[in-house]
Structure 1
Amino acid sequence: MASKDRNALAKTNPAFSLASGTLAGAVEGFATYPIEYTKTVSQFATKAGAKPPNPLVIVKDTVAQHGIRGLYSGCGALVAGNALKAGVRFLSYDHFKSMLKDNDGKLSGPRSLLAGLGAGMTEAVFAVTPSETINRTKLIDDAKRVAPKYPRGLVSGSMAIIRDEGLHGVYRGLVPVMLRQGANSAVRFGTYSTLRNFVQGSSRPGQPLPGGITFGIGALAGIVTVYATMPLDVVKTRMQSLEARQNYTGTFDCMRKILSNEGVFAFWRGATPRLARLMLSGGIVFTVYEQSMDLLDRFFDK
């Protein structure tokens, strides 16, 4: 049986959304982790008024000191966290999308943005904040110390951070994460949905898109997302650092100090590695998700 266009379906199976989103997040997380590592190190390493280190230099130095495995420091945590995040994100997005569709089963651009915003906020609370605070930002930041404070293992490192800082420490930076994830998902899903509907309506009405086209649309959505939301990502990273309690009283204090001490362009620091990551991320995650959903639809609709 030919695969159906899921955009035309009245409702998406929640179990399919969760399973496909989880798979897409795991694949995307592993494939793009070295770029994410480089971006995070760049944001932490730069002092006020200084030029950010070249991403290639960071990669070279990391490999020289720790080998290729150094670029995957904390990778297991990110893959697990990314799988959880993407599962929650796509499950939430499809839920909000079903709620916001009109009587003809179509989703307008503004409503797609709203559905993405809801998905991003949900993802931030239930998956992104604890995952990034414990397993990515703190462990990457701690690993750069001469004498690391926390164990490098996923479980042991996470438990040590929770014992040291408690749940309040785990959810430090929740506001900027919610802002960033809401904006990220709104822009990414809104852009992807608009481009997908345009391509599908003009050349493939009622037919699923090939993987190559899906990848390209997802990559373009990633480019738009980077430049629209980079300031929120920088603030989020600073607020989740090990020194956040000493340096900032809150999210808006962090924004004010970055602006006054480092200038407006500091909000786009790390944009180059993040651009590379989100281009790949957008292409990979939407392609894997769409292909997985199509396979599940075909298998269970016999």
Structure 2
Amino acid sequence: MAATEGEKLKKTNPLFSLASGTFAGAVEGFATYPIEYTKTPPNPLAIARDTVRDHGITGLYSGCGALVVGNAVKAGGKLSGPRSLLSGLGAGMMEAIFAVTPSETIKTKLIDDQKRIKPKYPPGLVSGSMAIIRDEGLHGIYRGLIPVMLRQGANSAVRFGTYSTLRNFVQGSSRPGQPLPGGITFGIGAIAGIVTVYATMPLDVIKTRMQSLEARTLYKGTFDCTFQILRQEGVLAFWRGATPRLARLMLSGGIVFTVYEQSIESLERMFG
């Protein structure tokens, strides 16, 4: 009889799950960061070209530390829990409060700042974060909390719900009781990323606008931001930038789940 997802998780050492999720999140954050950097419209390729010209290849990684740390913390927390839609929603909202909002706000501000002719903040994670906090206070790194909670909750619910459903289907129909090969895991994770992009893109657009350097002067709050985008740019603006985000989340889903599953197997072989 095929092992259920719940049985598999019960057999997994929670410390192995935490370590594997943290490692997977950090690998994914670093590997996909150049795509994250260039996803801002209107022309991602022009942004990448100009950034490399002005700041070198390392310019594409401005603010990368914030994303890697945030991914490591959030993946370490959620990959160890039950992979259901409801638990994914709750876990996503909790990670938004404790990990994602500060790290992504800092990341977004550092990226925006480094695209200026004369950047205001130093590009490093620690120095850049301290400069932002001195400038805007702790409230500044929690700007956009509501859209981040909504986006992260929806992301986790859709991503893990899709991955869990597809994984159980494939494993139950073709490989009962056996671990899935890395290529199949990567493909399932990539499909989960595609579904996540189109289901949650409006929340990602609102989140990014609310965390920008100009948010303080442009928007009164999350609902005002949403209304202004709809009124001034139309409903399709909520899916602008979906293509580069699609590329990132396809890779992200494939990398996270593949690294996580392989890491779990390696740790269990090494330590029982």
Q: TM-score range by the shorter chain?
A: over 0.9
Instruction: Name 2:140's counterpart in structure 1.
Output: 169
Indicate conservation of the 8 Å contact 2:91/2:156, yes or no: yes
- Which residue of the other structure, out of 103, 110, 120, is the alignment partner of 1:131? 103
Deviations 1:242-283 (A, max 9, x none): 111111111111100000000111101111100000000000
In structure 1, how many angstroms separate the alpha carbons of the residues matched to 2:105 and 2:249?
A: 20
Instruction: Name 2:162's counterpart in structure 1.
Output: 191
Equivalent runs, 1:1-302 vs 2, <5 Å: 7-9=6-8, 11=10, 12-39=12-39, 41-42=40-41, 52-53=42-43, 55-91=44-80, 94=81, 97=82, 112-134=84-106, 136-301=107-272
* SS at 2:79 equivalent: helix
* SS at 1:9 equivalent: helix
Matched AA of 1:78:
L
Using a 3 Å threshold, how does the CA distance of structure 1 residues 201 and 72 change in structure 2: closer, same or farther? same
Matched AA of 1:32:
T
**Structure 1 unaligned spans of 5+:** 43-51, 98-106
Question: Normalization by structure 1: what TM-score?
Answer: 0.85
RMSD in angstroms over aligned alpha carbons? 1.6
Indicate conservation of the 8 Å contact 2:92/2:156, yes or no: yes
Matched AA of 1:31:
A
* SS at 2:178 equivalent: coil
In structure 2, how many angstroms separate the alpha carbons of the residues matched to 1:81 and 1:62?
A: 23
Q: State the aligned residue count.
A: 269
Indicate conservation of the 8 Å contact 2:67/2:103, yes or no: yes
Indicate conservation of the 8 Å contact 1:124/1:174, yes or no: yes
Deviation at 1:170, TM superposition (A): 1.2
Deviations 1:139-179 (A, max 9, x none): 11111222222122221111111122112111111100000
Matched AA of 2:48:
V
* SS at 1:152 equivalent: coil
In structure 1, how many angstroms separate the alpha carbons of the residues matched to 2:101 and 2:64?
A: 17
Deviations 1:104-125 (A, max 9, x none): xxx7xxxx11011111111111
Deviations 1:32-86 (A, max 9, x none): 11100001x32xxxxxxxxx22x22222222222221121112233222221221
Deviation at 1:10, TM superposition (A): 5.8
In structure 1, how many angstroms separate the alpha carbons of the residues matched to 2:170 and 2:31?
A: 27
In structure 2, how many angstroms separate the alpha carbons of the residues matched to 1:29 and 1:76?
A: 9
Matched AA of 1:191:
T
Deviations 1:207-237 (A, max 9, x none): 1101000000000000000000000000000
Indicate conservation of the 8 Å contact 2:48/2:60, yes or no: yes
Deviation at 1:7, TM superposition (A): 4.5
In structure 2, how many angstroms separate the alpha carbons of the residues matched to 1:175 and 1:210?
A: 38
